[in-house]
Amino acid sequence: MYQHEIGKAAGELWRYLDTKGSTSMDKAHKDLKHLNKDLFHQALGWLARENKIDINSAVKPVVVSKKN
């Protein structure tokens, strides 16, 4: 059941990045404040595992963007 919630959160994050473009992880989480921290990070992991996003940790703050 929880897997469904993670998938739903990943979809929300995906649509957010599609609309907003590259953004810091902090900004994305602030804008998606209804997702608790754990669920937000699990959604990031889901999208990363599916190779749908780029996470640039070489810059601060860490930036996440949708892959083209």
Q: How many domains does the chain fold into? A: 1
Render pLDDT for 15-51 as a digit per residue (tens, 0 to 9).
Answer: 999 999 999 999 999 999 999 999 999 999 999 999 9
Q: Domain range holding 7?
A: 2-66
pLDDT at 44: 96
Other C-beta atoms closer than 10 Å to the C-beta of 1 total 4
pLDDT above 80: residue 1: no
CATH number at residue 24: 1.10.10.10
Find out whether 62 and 48 touch, Cβ atoms under 8 Å: no
